[in-house]
Amino acid sequence: MIFYKVTSLPNAVAENIPSGFELGQNIPNPTNGNTVISYTIPTSSKVSMSIVDVTGKEVMNIDKGQMSAGEHQIELNTAGFSAGVYFYTLTFDGQKSTRRLVVTQ
């Protein structure tokens, strides 16, 4: 499994990320179907993910509920998405991290 530190732009936006909280780049990227987003959280907490298009319109919201500390994955099917650039934001314990997702046809 590959993890990336969420500290570089333009693919990632870091917003006061606590130590041990990591949001990975979706694989594959770009994608035209199924993609996997990996993340690590340092403590048990509620986790959710929102996906927005380049205009900021939310296209999907995933509520994972209470998650245990450790490594996790979200399998995302982008078949219903239009081709383009999207941003996914993982929210953990009030903290947020964002990465870019590219969908092709």
Q: Which domain holds residue 70?
A: 12-103
Residue 7 belongs to a domain: no
Asked if the structure places residue 65 within a domain, the reply is: yes
Instruction: Give the CATH number, domain containing residue 91.
Output: 2.60.40.4070
The whole-angstrom separation of Cα 16 and Cα 102 is 25
Q: What is the pLDDT of residue 5?
A: 40
30 in any annotated domain = yes
Report the pLDDT averaged over residues 5-33: 70
Do the domain assignments include residue 42? yes
Q: What is the pLDDT of residue 1?
A: 39
Bigger pLDDT: 18 vs 42: 42
Indicate the pTM of the whole model: 0.80
In a domain, 96, yes or no: yes
Q: For 33-91, how does the pLDDT look when each residue is reduced to its tens digit (9 = 90+)?
A: 999 999 999 999 999 999 999 999 999 999 999 999 999 999 999 989 999 999 999 99
- Domain annotation covers residue 91: yes
What pLDDT is recorded for position 105? 82
Structural domain tally of the chain? 1
Whether 3 is in a domain gets the answer no
Rounded Cα gap, residues 12 and 32, in angstroms: 20
The distance of Cα 96 from the centroid of its chain, to the nearest Å, equals 10
Res 19: pLDDT = 73
Residue 4 lies in a domain: no
